[in-house]
Amino acid sequence: VTTRCDFAKRDKTVDARLRLYFHAVRPPGGAEMTYRVPYYVAVTTGSDIPAKKIYWLMLQFGAGDAVVDANTTVDSTEFQVDRTKQPYDYHLLVGFQLTKAQVEYNKKMGHYEP
């Protein structure tokens, strides 16, 4: 992930741009396939999530390919800074958007338990 953030003092707004890099792996020998993968960019401050947006990444595997690299740009993630906070109190969080079934599977298998 590479980022660029601009802060407008007068409006107390932040505009962040991100360049995201993905590395995907699947078992070798598969057919040519395109996967549409949901991911999100969220603005966080403490335990609050004042903004979150879902995006889609296209991963294209060639026939027999086991690995693919992809990158994408999120041109603008804009948010207002609360009067009681500073811009550095906010963070950007990027992750894969899971379905309820995927979350339950991860819980059952013991993945990512707190």
Residue 16 falls within a domain, yes or no? yes
Question: Would residue 93 count as lying in a domain?
Answer: yes
Q: How many CB atoms lie under 10 A from the CB of residue 90? A: 20
Count CA atoms closer than 13 A to 60's CA, side-chain side: 1
67 lies in some domain: yes
The model carries a pTM of 0.84
Tokens at residue 44, please? 């966080």
Is 114 among the domain residues? no
pLDDT of residue 107: 86
Determine, yes or no, domain membership for 29: yes
User: Which DSSP category does 17 fall into?
Assistant: E
Could you tell me whether strands 2-8 and 33-45 are parallel, antiparallel, or unpaired per DSSP bridges?
Answer: unpaired
- The pair of three-digit structure tokens given for residue 103, joined into one six-digit string: 């979350």
Confidence class of residue 99 from pLDDT cuts 50, 70 and 90?
very high
Q: Is residue 75 part of a domain?
A: yes
41-55 in b/e burial notation, b at 16+ Cβ within 10 A? Answer: bbbebeeeeebeeee
pLDDT at 31 over 90: yes
Share above pLDDT 70 across residues of the chain, in percent, rounded to a whole number: 96
Is 60 exceeded by the pLDDT of residue 114?
no
Show the domain range for 66: 2-109
- Of all residues in the chain, the percent with pLDDT exceeding 90 is 86
Mean pLDDT of the chain: 93
62 in a structural domain = yes
Domain of residue 47, CATH code: 2.60.40
Please check the confidence at residue 22 and state whether its pLDDT lies above 60: yes
Q: Provide the number of structural domains found in the chain.
A: 1
Residue 111 has pLDDT above 80, yes or no: no
Determine the pLDDT at residue 1: 87
Asked if residue 74 is part of any domain, the answer here is yes
Question: What pLDDT, in 10s, does the model give residues 46-80?
Answer: 999 999 999 999 999 999 999 999 999 999 899 99
